[in-house]
Amino acid sequence: MSHMPTDAEIDEMSEAELEAYLGSAPGQELDRRARRDTGEASTARPNWLRRSGAERGFGWLLIVCGLIGIVACWELISSQIDLLRNSDAQLVCDVSPLVSCGDSLNVWQGNLLGVPNSFIGAIAFGALVAIGAVLLSGARLPRWMWWGLSAGSLGGIAFVIWFLTVSIVTFGKLCPFCMVIWSVTIPVAAHSWAWTAAGGHLGLRDNLALDLLKSRWWVMAAMYLAVILTIIIAFGSQLARMFG
């Protein structure tokens, strides 16, 4: 265990020693929280296999958000099947003229890769549940998995932005199960980026990585706020009539 200097020892440090001590503090905290490879372990493995972990709360977040996402995707898949069987079917997601999913299912925007977006989403959320379970077991993930998790989260946020835009410009409606998916994608992304940075996998300096880790809840809140404000601005009059 490294020696923790006393206040008197800190006072006696030279400027160079003090700078070195302060610079090492973020790295030590990240080593403790993310359990990064250090020393021989950091050089024994290839760069793309270096490992780090995360606190158990992140594992639980992935599992809970993943399960919610799977349920929402399943409801969308079920609704799309009902609509294919009967074009006049009353879908559970058609709540009101504003909150409805029927118009967004059997169109190209709902099947970007030739299969329903919800099918791809269910696979992605299933992967999140598996990763969360691995982290809960105390295992550490190799760098390539952290890169994949961060890239997938970035893709998820890009999809949220794109489909929110399509909902406003093309459909003029809000898909309820899509909004559930958005609501779980945002925390997954904010926390995934933070823990990937904390593990040293994004190339950030330790102090910046620690700042990102500590501010991950604020990043999440900012993304939620951006989505909510966009919806209010785009559908303000309809929302007022709905709740007025």
Residues 85 and 153 in one domain: yes
Give percent of the chain with pLDDT exceeding 90: 54
- Domain range for 198: 53-241
pLDDT value at residue 198 = 93
- Same structural domain for residues 15 and 131? no
Q: What is the CA radius of gyration of the chain?
A: 22
Statement to judge: residues 57 and 34 lie in one domain: no
In terms of domains, do 108 and 229 share one?
Answer: yes
Residue 212 — pLDDT band, cuts 50, 70, 90? very high
Tally of domains within the chain: 2
What pTM was computed for the model?
0.86
Tokens for 240, please give them: 């007022």
- Report the distance separating Cα 65 and Cα 73, nearest Å: 12
How far apart are alpha carbons 214 and 211 in whole angstroms? 5
Distance (Å, whole) CA 167 – CA 69: 19
Q: Indicate if 139 and 234 belong to the same structural domain.
A: yes
Contact in structure between 111 and 120 (CB atoms under 8 Å)? no
Same domain, 27 and 77: no
135 and 53 Cβ atoms separated by less than 8 Å: yes
Q: Are 213 and 55 contacting, i.e. CB atoms less than 8 angstroms apart?
A: no
- List pLDDT tens digits, range 25-47: 677 777 778 777 765 555 667 77
131 and 223 in a single domain? The answer is: yes
* 211 found inside a domain: yes
Do 24 and 64 have their domain in common?
no
Percent of the chain topping pLDDT 70: 86
Same domain as 185, residue 72: yes
Whether residue 29 is found in the same domain as residue 78:
no
- Per-residue pLDDT of 96-137, as tens digits, reads 888 988 888 878 788 888 888 999 999 999 999 999 999 999
User: What pLDDT band is residue 237 in, cutting at 50, 70 and 90?
Assistant: confident
